[in-house]
């Protein structure tokens, strides 16, 4: 969970929230030859992240080594009308739409359709647009362009020092929670004024 930004950033971007607290459990044990001193010892970790000022809880499962699962960086979101599920990076995501209740059927009817994630090089200058076909869904040139534009436009970047902390601290705290057997840990609010002693 130390390197959680790719997994939690889309969910925090969608909700425009920060994580307030986390409980995380580790499963299994990494081979000694790939363990890092004072780091993660688990091949798989699952964390529940409570968002601040919200009743939303985000679940993130991370597995890198010793787990029979393909490498993927995807996410799923479920709401009360629609759901979006992206389970494997090289397959199309699914969009679920909840239909009106049909008393003659068991459960709620749901329509399912495969969707294509938008490819948006048109949002970039021509000189770097071709980089949008790269890894992590082509996000790198968009992030770099936004940061450079913030400097040129003399404004704060969309991902400033506080948002960066919001994206980084939950993973560090989740790993600590796993090392402590799932203990609930509060994530520091880096925007909060420091108490003066």
Residue 169 counted as domain residue: yes
Residue 126 counted as domain residue: yes
> What is the distance between the terminal CA atoms of the chain, rounded to a whole angstrom?
33
Residue 67 has φ and ψ, to the nearest 5°, of -125, 125
Distinct helix (H) and strand (E) counts, the chain? 4, 8
Residue 196 counted as domain residue: no
The string of pLDDT tens digits covering residues 99-145 is 998 888 888 889 999 999 888 899 999 999 988 887 777 888 999 99
The most distant pair of C-alpha atoms in the chain lies apart, rounded to whole Å, by 66
Nearest to 142 by CA among 131, 153, 155, 152: 131
Residue 110 counted as domain residue: yes
Nearest to 171 by CA among 32, 12, 34: 12
Residue 197 counted as domain residue: no
The string of pLDDT tens digits covering residues 16-42 is 999 999 999 999 998 888 887 777 789
Query: The domain spanning residue 52 has which CATH number?
Result: 3.30.360.10
Strand, coil or helix: 16: coil
pLDDT for residue 196? 46
Q: How many domains does the chain have?
A: 1
Residue 83 counted as domain residue: yes
Residue 191 counted as domain residue: no
Q: Which domain holds residue 44?
A: 5-186
Residue 167 counted as domain residue: yes
């Amino acid at each position: 969970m130390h390197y959680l930004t790719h997994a939690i950033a889309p969910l925090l971007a969608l909700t425009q929230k920060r994580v307030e607290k986390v409980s995380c459990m580790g499963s299994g044990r990494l081979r000694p030859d790939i363990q890092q001193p004072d780091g993660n010892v688990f091949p798989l970790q699952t964390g529940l992240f409570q968002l601040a000022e919200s009743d939303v809880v985000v679940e993130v499962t991370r597995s890198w080594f010793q787990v029979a699962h393909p490498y993927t960086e995807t996410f799923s979101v479920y709401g009360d009308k629609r759901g979006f599920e992206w389970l494997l990076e090289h397959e199309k995501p699914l969009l679920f739409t909840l239909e009106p209740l049909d008393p003659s059927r068991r459960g709620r009817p749901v329509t399912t359709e495969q969707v294509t994630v938008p490819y948006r090089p048109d949002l970039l200058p021509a000189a770097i647009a071709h980089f949008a076909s790269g890894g992590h869904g082509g996000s790198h040139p968009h992030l770099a362009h936004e940061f450079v534009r913030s400097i040129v436009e003399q404004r704060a970047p969309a991902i400033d020092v506080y948002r960066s902390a919001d994206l980084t601290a939950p993973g560090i705290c989740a790993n600590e929670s796993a090392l402590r057997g799932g203990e609930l840990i509060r994530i520091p609010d880096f925007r909060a004024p420091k108490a003066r002693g």
